[in-house]
């Protein structure tokens, strides 16, 4: 029975099948919101109200011709998208959605799983750099270099931001942090600055406007993905969607109180909270322009990192006075 | 003017509740105003075969051919002309409509001109 | 990463039309820039020699889609001078109205494109939604959304009735209410200002030395506008007009100049619609044009547009030459691009409002090594092209 549960966990919910289907749904929500903000319709035709459009895009890309540049390093070029997708799907398993038993640590919920989650979410960024570098195309190389510069800018504020709930609850386990905020909902307000920094850093990690500098269409054509086509490009696009779902789930578990109640209520809470974070991300995408890479580095070290440090100071202060 | 963080946010949020500005073409089509320059339509009953339209067309999209000639009871010669119109060459400038002395050419309101076969774009008005 | 040559074009998402740029790039800084034109050459000047004047009206209108009315006006008023015709006052007013409405449509389009080049797609969608108001107005007057076909020798081809004037005034009032929002946004949205302020600086002396035209020159503080220097179509004598300049010299100044020009244009349109004189809109024009040559200038949306026409007494012109404004702006653009960032390339290029269809007329490319010019006929050129690609491994 346990073995069956493990397989269901990995393959169905919250594993492969659920992440795949839910991430296409989240992409649909993002596209419809973006369109509504811009006074237009978004996908309407494929499926009822365009719900099947992201799946249709994925299937179309899988069916296209897969071209590998002559001078590219073929082994690494082909392996990078698979490797990145595997990392993000693995990090999805660490989300505290369905607990076999609350107080017991298991292979998917243990002390320090925040760090593992942050590490697994950082792997795709290195994969993007490798993708750009092994393409040996000028635009791809420039895109790859920009990806690393961007990582240098947002990764530290993101780590500082996810530190504060961990320090407040005194635990490095996602399920514990979520349970703490479910027990004391008002303490979520103390972490608002950290939540804001986390959302901005997540937007940068997902490489969406205003931080989509590495694959800025009008400057470096496609950035790291310029030479990718067909199945590998489909995997990169799927990877971006899954990263959005996992990142939103990560932030909800840390700052918004997690997904209590077991299987069915946990699923409903997961959908509600991740959609709330996606709404904020979509609004951010609609109201800003793309900034330059040097402005991004200046912005994150002048504003984001100090704000995250301020949040840490607040949390340490509060912890001193909390019962 | 000072900088405001998220300056566009109020306007963007208002649009969540507004009607969309786009139309789901081709399931719903827009109407064109009167005077729209669509495709030329010729009435063979009015044409006198002066060929002014052929001379003035900038894209050589018109040809006028004499179809028949007959003499009626009073001895008047009545000629009938046909127009071959190449839709794929037309630039919709309405010069033919303007120059025709008998107002035999009128531009209609058609703007959907795609076809799979080039022969379908050659229209003959007899 | 060292210095390398970054090609932008002939096909690139930053370009709306094909141009070939070669940038010498050091990391993220542009060290040097070079330009090759000619990808949109269609042989219009040669085609104009074998068509009658009436046919040439429509050929020259299609030099460019966005400045179509400006080209048609320039050609029509030049040939009218040769014919010795004077259009009636109502015709002049409607001619001016078409030019100004086209300016509205082009500047709203440019605001959207500039937004898209810096990744601000919402701005792009909003300005193009408002542009639909002026497109509907133009379709109502002339029967088409671009290539209006309104100008002819001796006046304009269509008249306005009371119903249309009322609808036009309503449309202009709606646009007048919406446009200040974009001007404010351009100055207060921090990410947009970060991308366009201080970028692509062109000081006044350089603008004069490199002969920038249009809003590019006016944004550096140079009061250069054909509507003031060489008035046409009723400007100056019947229709009041104020020139709009800014002192910034960067892309933000160009945004401000175009947005303020929009407001000025709305005032001009309202004046024309409220004071439209009665009468005819055109006089009859002869088919054959007397011998002579004429230079005609018009302030197109992008700057000063020059047409030269030489006639030889028949109904076909001897020579037509078009100097479109974007050709005059390329040297200034190369100056602006040097020393900037790679990320600034799209917005600096978009800031001059480039129109390659306007630019590409006949050009002479000199071989620097030999210092000579070479003329190839069609067969030699074809063989040269096949050999060129075969050497690079592409079989044709």
Q: What is the pLDDT of residue B24?
A: 87
Taking the Cβ of residue B57 and every Cβ of chain C, the question of whether any pair is shorter than 8 Å is answered with: yes
Q: What is the pLDDT of residue A263?
A: 79
Give the residue among C106, C124, C105, C76 at the shortest CA–CA distance from C320.
C76
* Gap from B74 CA to chain C (nearest CA, Å): 37
- Which pair of structure tokens corresponds to residue A320? 């001193």
Chain A CB contacts of B18 under 8 Å are 39
Q: Helix, strand, coil: what percent of chain B each, to 5?
A: 20, 25, 60
Q: What is the pLDDT of residue C237?
A: 82
Lowest mean pLDDT among A12-26, C66-80, C265-279: A12-26
Beta partners for residue C308, in sequence order: C295, C321
Q: Count helices and strands (H / E) in chain C.
A: 15, 8
Q: Do A154 and A201 touch, CB atoms closer than 8 A?
A: yes
Q: What is the pLDDT of residue A103?
A: 64
> Model confidence over A80-124: pLDDT tens digits?
999 999 999 999 888 888 765 566 677 777 888 899 999 999 999
> Model confidence over B13-33: pLDDT tens digits?
888 898 888 888 888 888 889
Q: Which residue has the tokens 């001193």?
A: A320
Q: Domain B37-125 adopts which CATH fold?
A: Alpha-Beta Plaits (3.30.70)
- Residue A151: pLDDT band by 50, 70, 90 thresholds? very high
Distance separating alpha carbons of residues B103 and A199, to the nearest angstrom: 67
Distance separating alpha carbons of residues A209 and A207, to the nearest angstrom: 7
Q: Between C295 and A105, where is the model more confident?
A: C295
User: What total of structural domains would you count in chain A?
Assistant: 1
Distance separating alpha carbons of residues B43 and C73, to the nearest angstrom: 33
Lowest mean pLDDT among B66-75, C127-136, C284-293: B66-75
- Which pair of structure tokens corresponds to residue C179? 């446009």
Give the residue among C126, C123, C106, C102 at the shortest CA–CA distance from C114.
C123
Beta partners for residue C35, in sequence order: C21
> In percent, how much of chain C has pLDDT > 90?
58
Mean pLDDT for the stretch of residues C163-172: 94
**Pairwise CB contact (< 8 Å): C125 & A38:** yes
- Which pair of structure tokens corresponds to residue C314? 């028949």
Q: Do C174 and C269 touch, CB atoms closer than 8 A?
A: no
Taking the Cβ of residue A37 and every Cβ of chain B, the question of whether any pair is shorter than 8 Å is answered with: yes
Instruction: Point out the residue among C12, C125, C194 whose CB comes nearest to the CB of A40.
Output: C125
Mean pLDDT for the stretch of residues C84-103: 93
Distance separating alpha carbons of residues A95 and A117, to the nearest angstrom: 9
Mean pLDDT for the stretch of residues A154-173: 90
Q: What is the pLDDT of residue C260?
A: 93
Q: Which residue has the tokens 């269609």?
A: C42
Q: What sign results for the dihedral spanned by CA atoms C80, C83, C85, C91? A: negative
Q: What is the pLDDT of residue C37?
A: 85
- Give chain B's mean pLDDT: 88
Neighbours of chain B (3+ CB pairs under 8 A): A, C
Q: What is the pLDDT of residue B1?
A: 54
Taking the Cβ of residue B10 and every Cβ of chain A, the question of whether any pair is shorter than 8 Å is answered with: no
Directed axis angle between helix C162-188 and helix C121-142, to 10°? 160
Distance separating alpha carbons of residues C177 and C242, to the nearest angstrom: 20
**Pairwise CB contact (< 8 Å): C54 & B36:** no
> In percent, how much of chain B has pLDDT > 70?
98
Q: Do C345 and C251 touch, CB atoms closer than 8 A?
A: no
Largest CA distance in chain A: 65
Is residue B114 over pLDDT 60?
yes
Chain A CB contacts of B13 under 8 Å are 37, 283
Lowest mean pLDDT among A71-85, C4-18, C294-308, C320-334: C4-18
> Model confidence over C201-248: pLDDT tens digits?
999 999 999 999 999 999 999 998 999 888 888 887 888 888 999 998
- Give chain A's mean pLDDT: 88
Q: What is the pLDDT of residue A102?
A: 60
- Residue C396: pLDDT band by 50, 70, 90 thresholds? low
Q: Do C341 and C30 touch, CB atoms closer than 8 A?
A: yes
Most A-contacting residue of C27, C191, C345 (CB-CB within 10 A), to test interface = C191
Chain B CB contacts of C58 under 8 Å are 58, 91, 93, 95
Distance separating alpha carbons of residues C63 and B36, to the nearest angstrom: 22
Q: Do B66 and B120 touch, CB atoms closer than 8 A?
A: no
> Model confidence over C46-60: pLDDT tens digits?
899 999 999 999 999
Domain, as residue range, for A85: 2-321
Is residue C15 over pLDDT 90?
no
Is residue C370 over pLDDT 80?
no
Is residue A64 over pLDDT 90?
yes
Domains in chain C: ranges and CATH: 44-325 (1.10.645.10)
Directed axis angle between helix C68-83 and helix C53-61, to 10°? 160
* C175-214 as b/e: b if 16+ CB within 10 A: beeebeebbebbbbbbbbbbbbeebbbbeeebbeebebbb
- The ipTM, to two decimals, is 0.90
Q: What is the pLDDT of residue C395?
A: 74
> In percent, how much of chain A has pLDDT > 70?
96
3-state secondary structure C192-222: HHHHHCCCCCCCHHHHHHCCCCHHHHHCCCC
Is residue A138 over pLDDT 60?
yes
Q: What is the pLDDT of residue C275?
A: 92
* Gap from B34 CA to chain C (nearest CA, Å): 7
Burial class (CB in 10 A: 0-12, 13-18, 19+), A321: exposed
Chain B residue at shortest CA distance from C141: B35
- Give chain C's mean pLDDT: 90
Q: What is the pLDDT of residue C87?
A: 93
- Residue B99: pLDDT band by 50, 70, 90 thresholds? very high
Q: What is the pLDDT of residue C234?
A: 86
């Amino acid at each position: 029975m346990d073995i069956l549960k493990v397989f269901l966990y990995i393959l169905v919910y919250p594993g492969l099948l659920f992440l795949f289907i839910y991430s296409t749904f989240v992409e649909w929500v993002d596209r419809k919101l973006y369109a509504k903000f811009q006074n237009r319709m978004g996908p309407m035709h494929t499926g009822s109200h365009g719900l099947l459009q992201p799946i249709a895009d994925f299937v179309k890309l899988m069916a296209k011709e897969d071209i590998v540049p002559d001078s590219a390093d073929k082994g690494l070029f082909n392996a990078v998208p698979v490797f990145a997708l595997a990392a993000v799907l693995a990090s999805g398993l660490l989300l505290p959605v369905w607990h076999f038993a609350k107080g017991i640590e298991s292979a998917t919920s243990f002390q320090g799983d925040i760090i593992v989650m942050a590490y697994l979410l950082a792997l795709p960024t290195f994969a993007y750099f490798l993708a750009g570098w092994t393409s040996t195309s000028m635009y791809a190389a420039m895109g790859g270099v920009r990806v690393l510069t961007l990582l240098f800018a947002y990764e530290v504020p993101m780590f500082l931001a996810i530190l504060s709930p961990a320090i407040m609850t005194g635990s490095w386990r996602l399920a514990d942090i979520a349970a703490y905020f479910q027990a004391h909902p008002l303490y979520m307000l103390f972490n608002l600055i950290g939540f804001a920094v986390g959302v901005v850093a997540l937007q940068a990690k997902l490489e969406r406007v205003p931080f989509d500098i590495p694959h800025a269409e009008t400057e470096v054509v496609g950035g790291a993905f310029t030479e990718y086509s067909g199945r590998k490009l489909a995997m990169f696009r799927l990877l971006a969607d899954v990263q959005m779902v996992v990142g939103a789930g990560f932030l909800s578990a840390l700052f918004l109180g997690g997904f209590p109640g077991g299987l069915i209520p946990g699923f409903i809470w997961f959908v509600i909270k991740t959609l709330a974070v996606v709404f904020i991300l979509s609004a951010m995408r609609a109201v800003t322009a793309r900034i330059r890479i040097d402005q991004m580095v200046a912005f994150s070290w002048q504003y984001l990192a100090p704000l995250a440090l301020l949040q840490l100071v607040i949390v340490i202060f509060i912890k001193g006075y909390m019962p | 003017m000072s900088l405001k963080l998220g300056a566009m946010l109020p306007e963007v949020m208002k649009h969540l509740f507004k009607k969309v500005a786009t139309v789901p073409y081709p399931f719903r089509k827009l109407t064109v105003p009167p005077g729209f320059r669509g495709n030329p339509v010729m009435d063979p009953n009015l044409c006198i075969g002066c060929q002014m339209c052929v001379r003035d067309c900038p894209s050589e999209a018109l040809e006028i051919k004499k179809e028949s000639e007959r003499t009626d009871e009073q001895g008047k010669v009545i000629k009938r002309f046909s127009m071959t119109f190449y839709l794929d060459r037309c630039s919709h400038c309405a010069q033919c409509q303007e120059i025709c002395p008998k107002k035999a050419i009128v531009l209609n309101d058609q703007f959907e001109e795609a076809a799979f076969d080039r022969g379908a774009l050659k229209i003959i008005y007899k | 990463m060292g210095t390398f040559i970054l090609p932008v074009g002939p096909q690139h998402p930053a370009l709306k039309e094909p141009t070939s740029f070669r940038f010498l790039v050091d990391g993220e800084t542009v060290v040097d820039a070079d330009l090759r034109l000619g990808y949109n050459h269609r042989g219009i000047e040669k085609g104009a020699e074998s068509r009658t004047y009436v046919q040439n009206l429509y050929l020259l209108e299609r030099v460019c889609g966005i400045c179509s009315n400006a080209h048609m006006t320039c050609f029509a008023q030049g040939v009218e001078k040769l014919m010795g015709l004077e259009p009636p006052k109502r015709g002049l007013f409607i001619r001016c109205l078409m030019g100004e409405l086209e300016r509205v449509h082009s500047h709203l389009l440019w605001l959207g494109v500039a937004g898209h080049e810096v990744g601000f797609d919402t701005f792009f969608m909003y300005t193009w939604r408002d542009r639909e108001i002026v497109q509907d107005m133009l379709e109502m007057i002339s029967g088409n959304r671009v290539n209006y076909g309104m100008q002819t020798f001796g006046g304009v081809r269509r008249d306005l009735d009371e119903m249309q004037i009322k609808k036009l005034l309503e449309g202009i009032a709606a646009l007048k209410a919406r446009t200040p929002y974009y001007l404010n946004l351009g100055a207060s949205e921090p990410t947009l200002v970060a991308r366009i302020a201080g970028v692509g600086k062109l000081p006044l002396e350089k603008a004069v030395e490199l002969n920038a035209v249009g809003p590019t020159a006016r944004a550096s503080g140079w009061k250069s506008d054909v509507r003031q220097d060489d008035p046409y179509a009723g400007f100056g004598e019947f229709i009041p007009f104020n020139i709009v300049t800014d002192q910034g010299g960067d892309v933000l100044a160009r945004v401000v100049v175009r947005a303020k020009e929009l407001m000025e244009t709305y005032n001009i349109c309202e004046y024309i619609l409220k004071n439209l004189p009665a009468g005819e809109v055109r006089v009859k024009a002869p088919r054959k044009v007397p011998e002579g040559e004429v230079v005609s200038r018009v302030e197109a949306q992008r700057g000063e547009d020059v047409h030269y026409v030489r006639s030889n007494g028949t109904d076909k012109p001897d020579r037509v030459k078009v100097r479109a404004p974007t050709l005059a702006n390329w040297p200034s653009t190369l100056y602006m691009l040097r020393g900037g960032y790679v990320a600034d390339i799209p917005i600096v290029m978009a800031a001059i409002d480039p129109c390659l269809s306007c630019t590409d007329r006949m050009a002479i490319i000199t071989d620097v090594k030999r210092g000579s010019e070479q003329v190839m006929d069609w067969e030699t050129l074809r063989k040269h092209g096949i050999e060129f690609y075969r050497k690079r491994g592409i079989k044709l």
